[in-house]
Structures are given as C-alpha cells and as structure tokens.
Copies of this chain bind each other. A is one copy, B any other.
C-alpha cells in the first residue's frame, strides 16, 4: 500500500470527522440548552456545516485516492484495508446526494424538531403536520437519489443498518410477534401480581440524579469523559474521544424514566467510550450499525439492569436514596420493574411488549413513505393500530404519534434497529455467559467489569471491521436469530413466577 496516498486520504477523512463532531455539538446543544429564539440561526449553522461536510466527503480527490489504494492493496482485515473498504462505501453513498438536498434535509430537521417539541407540549398534531409532510417529501427524494430495487424503505434503512432489507425486518418482527403475543396472553391470564405503583411514588429528581450517576459509573461509564444532562428525549452522543455525553429526564413521580433511561444510554456510552481511540476519525474507530449500538444499550438496560442479581447488589443503595422504597421488599421492587403490561409510551415499555411498539412504527412509516397513508391521517391510523395491538385507547397525540422525536428529525428507517438491538443483545449476552459463566453471581457482588471486558473484546474494539452479521457470527458462533431473545423472555416471564 502506498503510505503517502493513505496518509493524504486519512488527513482528509479526519478533517471531515472533526467537522462532524462539531455538528454533533450543535445537535447536543440544540437538544439541551439552546434558547428557543436561537432555533432559526441553529438551522442555518447546521445546514452549512452539513453542506461543508457533504462537499468534503464527495470531493473527487477522494475517489482518486481511494482508487489508487484499491488497485494497490491486499484484501485483509487490517485497519487500513477496513478503512479503505468503508470509505469507499460511504463515498459511493454520499455522492448520490446533492449538497442542496443535504442542506435542506438538515435545515428542515432542526426547525421540524423545534416545532415537534411545541406540538408535543401543546398536544397539537396540526402544528407538526406541515413539517412532517415536508420531511417526508425530502426523505423520498433522498431515497430516490440513493436508488433501490423494489422498496423505497430499503435505502433509508441501509443508512442505519447497512445491508439489511425491509422485508427481512418485517419477517423477524413478525416472528417475534408470533412468540410474544402468546407470552403476553399467558402473563395476563396468570393473574400474576404486577403492581408497579411503587415506581410512581415520590422520587425527588436530585436523589434520582445522585443514584443514576452511581449506577452509570459502576458499570464503567467514565464521567471524566462524559456527563448527564436533561432533555425531553434521552440520547447518547459521541462528540469525540474523551467526550461522550448522555441525557435523561427526571420525572418526580416515576422512577423508571431516568433509572432505566440512564442505564440504557450509558450502554450506548460504553460502546462509544471503548471504541479504539487510536482509530478515531476513521471507520475502524466507529460503531458498526445502530442495531449493534442498540444491542449495547438494551443489554445493560434489560439483561443486566432488570435482572434480580443486579438489584441484589444495588437495592440497599436505592433504599438509601429513596424514602419511597424504604418499606418495599426487594421482591416487590423486582416484580414492579419487570411488570408486563401494555402501555402507551415506547421508551417506558417492558421487554415483552417493546417490540410491538417498533412493529407499529415500522408499518406506519413504510405507509407514510410510500404515500399510502397521508400525514393528516396519521393520528387516527396510529390510534387504531395501537388499539389493535395493545387494546388501549390513546388519550392524546403526545402519548401517541407525537411521543418520539425520530420522524421530526427525519429518522425514517431508524426504528427497526431497536428491535434488531434486542435480538443482538440477547444473543451476545448468552454468548458472554457461555464463555465467562456465572455473570449473575458477579453482578450480585457489583462486578460488571468482566462483562464489559467481554463486550470490549468482542464488539467495541473492532470498530467497523466487520458488518453486523459478521460481528454477531464471530462473537456468538452463529448467525443472528430471534432464538436467544425468545428463550430469554420465555425463561424470565413464561411459566414460572418472574422472581
């Protein structure tokens, strides 16, 4: 390989990533602290930097440099070869979009999110409707520009989960549904105690904050290189090496939101904080896909954070922090945090019903994209489908189709990666347990480093060396399937008592 050529390309790519990390800060600030009146200017800033980045990513010299390296190189999985392969993929994808479209998508996304926040607060879908229509027009233009064979959803999904098709997602979500609906029914029929009212007592935000900081630190999230802020919609963002931030919201009379929200976001944060620092700015220093990213958050949130062993260690500390738990036995708390029950809000859903929330969004966003469903008809369509899947009436749109930020931010094709994350998480956890043995015993002692170490070795350190299918195959010894997830859920919630 020509080292000089590689270095020249590397410098260009690192500059692009540096600019990307500034775009990240604009986004973080927009969602945390930006004053209301700054939105219009922020849209201009974000559009400009997206345009500059797009121009640099699609600059013809990149093609030329890549071509020289491709002719020259031995195919292997060395960092250099991986970077060249992935840079080529990104270049070919990016060059299909015009700078004008990229800027327009970005500008619209900022203003649309701002309106969505207002619409959600006011429970008024009509405010948001024109922005969603505009966003959909732009996303269709984006999908057409990428091109596709038979499904306009595919090229958008590919951005988040490279190589995966809508039809495959539909199939696996369908399989999950087949397994989970009977499980839901048997849980409902069992009449099993599922009182989660103790989670809705008084939980002062300051105490929540203190507690979740301790929990996040214990599983390995490094606060010297990160922080927690408050936002409407929780997220994790890697702004660069040494700077990976997470957010949450503290609801004074509901413990779960911040507690499991932070374990979830810290799971994302652990992935970002443990990507190989020496490769920052190149594909070797980046996460594989959103489905793999989500596996890290769901694994810590659910397979660890909702396990009995975890709470055998943490519950006494929780009781020290919260008066409301003083007289609640551990078993009751454990049942409460694992109560299975149809509910309105995706981010607060239990493990069993969660994937139905995804299926609903996946089906609706496909119909919106193809135009089979008009935007104006989204609220009734959402509510009807929601009743069909969950048997619940949606009281207002803030608890219905306005609850998630994604569509306002133009993130179509994003939701399915949450369910893929659940499947990946269950399969990775089973493999880690198979190799290490006795994870619950470790959790009971507050030892989370062995599991984190396994994830570092098998997932984090590889960056984009393997695609998601290869990574799962190598880490678990088999291709991805719903088996581990179904086995885990049936083992935990089926037949026997949950504790």
- Find the B residue at minimum CB distance from A245: B35
Cα of A42 to Cα of B29 in the assembled complex, Å: 15
CB distance from A265 to the nearest CB of B (A): 15
A430 contacts B by Cβ under 8 Å: no
CB-defined interface of A180-223 with B at 8 Å, one 1/0 digit per residue?
A: 00000000000000000000000000000000000000000011
CB distance from A356 to the nearest CB of B (A): 37
- Find the B residue at minimum CB distance from A281: B44
Cα of A240 to Cα of B45 in the assembled complex, Å: 9
- A48→B227 contact, CB < 8 A: no
Q: A41-B241, A49-B22 are in contact. Are A36 and B224 (CB under 8 A)?
A: yes
| From B37, B222, B223, B241, contact of A243 by CB (8 A) | B37
Collect the chain B residues with CB atoms within 8 Å of residue A223's CB. Answer: 35
Cα of A239 to Cα of B34 in the assembled complex, Å: 10
- B25→A242 contact, CB < 8 A: no
CB distance from A32 to the nearest CB of B (A): 8
- B38→A242 contact, CB < 8 A: yes
CB-defined interface of A36-54 with B at 8 Å, one 1/0 digit per residue?
A: 1111111011001100000
CB distance from A125 to the nearest CB of B (A): 24
Cα of A336 to Cα of B249 in the assembled complex, Å: 42
- B229→A41 contact, CB < 8 A: no
A225 contacts B by Cβ under 8 Å: yes
Cα of A48 to Cα of B44 in the assembled complex, Å: 20
Q: A21-B41, A22-B49, A44-B18 are in contact. Are A33 and B239 (CB under 8 A)?
A: no
Cα of A166 to Cα of B225 in the assembled complex, Å: 43
A226 contacts B by Cβ under 8 Å: yes
Number of copies: 2
Collect the chain B residues with CB atoms within 8 Å of residue A40's CB. Answer: 241-242
Cα of A33 to Cα of B223 in the assembled complex, Å: 12
- B229→A38 contact, CB < 8 A: no
A378 contacts B by Cβ under 8 Å: no
A26 contacts B by Cβ under 8 Å: yes
Collect the chain B residues with CB atoms within 8 Å of residue A224's CB. Answer: 35-37
Cα of A468 to Cα of B69 in the assembled complex, Å: 57
CB distance from A305 to the nearest CB of B (A): 23
The total of chain A residues at the interface (CB under 8 A) is 36
Q: A15-B48, A22-B26, A48-B19 are in contact. Are A240 and B33 (CB under 8 A)?
A: no
CB distance from A285 to the nearest CB of B (A): 12
| From B22, B38, B239, contact of A239 by CB (8 A) | B38
Cα of A34 to Cα of B288 in the assembled complex, Å: 26
CB-defined interface of A148-162 with B at 8 Å, one 1/0 digit per residue?
A: 000000000000000
- B35→A226 contact, CB < 8 A: yes
Q: Tell me the residues in window 225-263 of chain A with beta carbons closer than 8 Å to chain B beta carbons.
A: 225-227, 229, 239-243, 245
Q: A33-B229, A35-B223, A36-B224 are in contact. Are A242 and B21 (CB under 8 A)?
A: no
Collect the chain B residues with CB atoms within 8 Å of residue A18's CB. Answer: 44-45, 48
- A42→B240 contact, CB < 8 A: yes
CB distance from A31 to the nearest CB of B (A): 13
| From B26, B35, B41, B227, contact of A227 by CB (8 A) | B35
- B37→A225 contact, CB < 8 A: yes
Cα of A41 to Cα of B14 in the assembled complex, Å: 12
Collect the chain B residues with CB atoms within 8 Å of residue A15's CB. Answer: 48
- Find the B residue at minimum CB distance from A242: B37
- A39→B242 contact, CB < 8 A: yes
Collect the chain B residues with CB atoms within 8 Å of residue A42's CB. Answer: 240, 243
Q: A22-B22, A26-B22, A48-B18 are in contact. Are A35 and B229 (CB under 8 A)?
A: no
What are 29 pairs between A and B in contact, CB < 8 Å? A18-B44, A18-B48, A19-B49, A22-B22, A22-B26, A22-B45, A29-B29, A33-B33, A34-B243, A35-B223, A35-B224, A35-B225, A35-B226, A35-B242, A35-B243, A36-B224, A36-B225, A37-B222, A37-B224, A37-B241, A37-B242, A37-B243, A38-B239, A38-B240, A40-B242, A41-B243, A42-B240, A42-B243, A44-B240
8 tightest Cβ-Cβ pairs between the two chains A and B: A38-B243, A37-B242, A41-B240, A37-B225, A38-B242, A37-B224, A18-B48, A35-B225
10 additional A-B residue pairs with CB within 8 Å, beyond A33-B229, A37-B242, A37-B243: A19-B48, A22-B45, A29-B29, A35-B226, A37-B222, A38-B239, A40-B242, A41-B239, A41-B280, A42-B243
